[in-house]
Amino acid sequence: MGKGLIRVILLALLWGLLSGHTEPLIVGFGIFSVLLVGFLAQRMDGAEGPVGLRHMGLPVLGYLAWLCREIVLSNLQVTREILRPRLALTPTALRVPASQRMPLGRTLYANSITLTPGTVSVAVGTNDILIHALMREGAESLLTGDMDRRVTALESRE
């Protein structure tokens, strides 16, 4: 219970600092939001046992650095395509394999795909993820399995 109370207090302080509102109605909505998030976070703490990014160790930092690099490169590629006089977009939907065993791993993989500009995870299955990409090359780059292998490697470190 102590961890949950600290979480709610920190959320309330953050809300207060970021909102800057003092009107009773807005403050009431803020209190409701903080309590709801605190309750949901408390329920999620035990959803999968002791599994989470903090249990994956330091390799998470390496993965996040790699993902940031991929996001920047993909952002530059999408920007270049959009700024062309003649758009050469080739919207594509396809399924990419997901080799993660646990829901957290598949969620991390799907979110990593969505964070990469030009691609969106549409549906997450047990063994694959349906994605939509602005350019066929972006979708096919996921078929190489590099991102999938990196997320699976993190998952195996638990």
Burial of 147 (0-12, 13-18, 19+ CB in 10 A): buried
CB atoms inside a 10 Å sphere around CB 36: 10
Q: Is 125 helix (H, G, I), strand (E, B) or coil?
A: coil
Asked if 87 contacts 138 with a C-beta cutoff of 8 angstroms, the reply is no
Copy the structure tokens of residue 17: 């600092």
pTM of the model: 0.69
Taking only the tens of pLDDT, the chain with its 158 residues reads 578 888 889 999 999 999 888 899 999 999 999 999 988 888 776 655 555 555 566 778 888 999 999 999 999 988 888 888 888 788 999 999 999 988 888 989 999 999 988 899 999 998 999 999 998 888 888 888 899 999 988 877 65
124: left (phi over 0), alpha (psi -120 to 50) or beta: beta
